[in-house]
Amino acid sequence: QPARFSGRTIIVTGAGSGIGRATALRLLSEGARVIAADISAERLAVLQEDGGSDRLVGVTGDVSLQADVDALFLAAGPTVDGLVNNAGIMDSFLPTAEITDEVWDRVFRVNVTSQMRLMRAVLPGMVSAGFGRIVNIASEAGIRAGASGTTYSASKHAVIGLTKSTALFYGPKGVRCNAVAPGAVKTNIEAPFLSAWAAERLGPIMQTTIPAPAEPEELAASICWLLSEDSPNVNGAVLMSDGGWSTI
Ligand code: NAD
């Protein structure tokens, strides 16, 4: 079977851990040149060691900052074929009346603004090439309220709006833009829904309905499917990759 991504340059943010790391490694194994971005230089160094390929370029930076997005885009070179907007943070499961401006601003800058800025950077080149594949990582929290605090939920709903609107405007120009919505996944992300504190507040809403957490590699499979030519007619979709959690 030929490598699905040979000759392709694909940016993956938050590639130092969890879903981003599994996606970067899978893309590498399928022939891509991967531009791996993370705020943690240590995590990127481990990825580079494990990836062991000169097709892997690590870029340390904070994707919530425009200057770091510019540097990342520059490191990718003139042609970017794919983008996985994956970096994201949680919100300590705060309900609306307890949201601080600090949490709200940080979560929106990392989860939403960074995705917009990276798409804004890569889209002109994709349009001139007539080819682009974008996958934005949303969440179960992007379609309903029971999976996180209010800020995170609002940010992931925004990711879905960003994705659908981009799909609408750029689909006719050869760019497909889709979202993957993970359920619970075994990563390093803060998981307060598993804490006693959250259990007390949400009790049966969460704890009894959530399927066993998935491996990051299962999410990488969903993401790579949307990046590949195995999903030619899929644009503006939200792929629930959650073991069926959203059916409950
Ligand atoms: P993770 O914490 O294991 O990995 C995220 C990586 O992103 C980390 O290496 C971190 O250093 C990096 N990062 C964080 N902020 C950054 C920034 N400002 N700039 C650059 N890099 C930054 O988390 P994960 O679970 O793999 O999360 C990946 C995505 O999946 C996120 O968007 C998250 O919201 C989403 N998600 C995760 C779950 C889950 O259960 N793990 C569920 C639904 C959605």
Note the pLDDT tens digit of each residue in 104-151: 999 999 999 999 999 999 999 999 999 999 999 999 999 988 788 899
pLDDT 10s digits, 206-221: 655 788 889 999 999 9
- Given a cut of 90, is residue 231 above it in pLDDT? yes
Name which residue sits closest to atom 17 of ligand 1, judged by CA. 62
* Domain limits, the chain: 9-237
- Of 149, 140, 159, nearest to 213 by C-alpha is 140
CA of 1 to the centre of ligand 1 (A): 31
Q: Check if 152 is active-site.
A: yes
pLDDT greater than 90 at residue 169: yes
- Predicted-complex ipTM score: 0.99
Q: Within its chain, how far is the Cα of 144 from the centroid? A: 18
Q: Hey, what CATH topology would domain 9-237 get? A: Rossmann fold (3.40.50)
Q: Which two tokens stand for residue 173?
A: 């120009």
Catalytic residue among 93, 152, 170, 193: 152
Residue (of 100, 102, 110) closest to 39 by Cα position: 110
